[in-house]
Amino acid sequence: MKTTYAAEEIHALLPHRYPFALVDRIIDYVPGKQATGIKNVTFNEPHFQGHFPGHPLMPGVLIVEAMAQVGGVVLSQIEGVEGLCVFAGIDKVRFRRPVVPGDQLIMTVELLAIKRMRFGKMRGRAEVDGQLACEGELMFSVVDR
């Protein structure tokens, strides 16, 4: 059973491409349950030009999107889930520390529920150096491509 994925393998599972491919590696994968992924945050990313000049911070929406992409690795491999997985909502999201260039964001996303292979909920947690950066619940819907 495969438990890790390199960038090329993630690209085979998810439709996201630069500049919106936000997962560099999956370091732990439990089929149908959860995955842990890494995002290496670099100063060269386009959003840092304007967020914020002289004080670059990774936008919270991109941290949440990165967690969702880790969840997408789990969803894309569940038998019966066919189509494009998109956000249906987010709940209880909190940002606990800034994420800056040079950080390595480690995100663990757990599948909580899936209904009729079309809707569901996941819990995500993102950390930097063992410190909680973001956490929350992510709802998804599977739509036809």
Write the pLDDT tens digit of every residue in 43-53.
999 999 999 99
d(CA 139, CA 122): 6
Helix or strand or coil: residue 70? helix
Q: Which residues contact 30 (CB under 8 A, 6 or more apart)?
A: 3
Q: Give the pLDDT band (50/70/90) at residue 79.
A: very high
pLDDT band of residue 1 (cuts 50, 70, 90) is confident
Read off the pLDDT of each residue in 43-71 and give the average, rounded to a whole number. Answer: 96
The residue type of 90 is I
* Cis? peptide before 43, omega within 30° of 0: no
Mean pLDDT, residues 23-36 taken together: 98
Residues involved in catalysis: 51
pLDDT at 57 over 90: yes
Q: How many other C-beta atoms lie within 10 A of the C-beta of residue 76?
A: 16
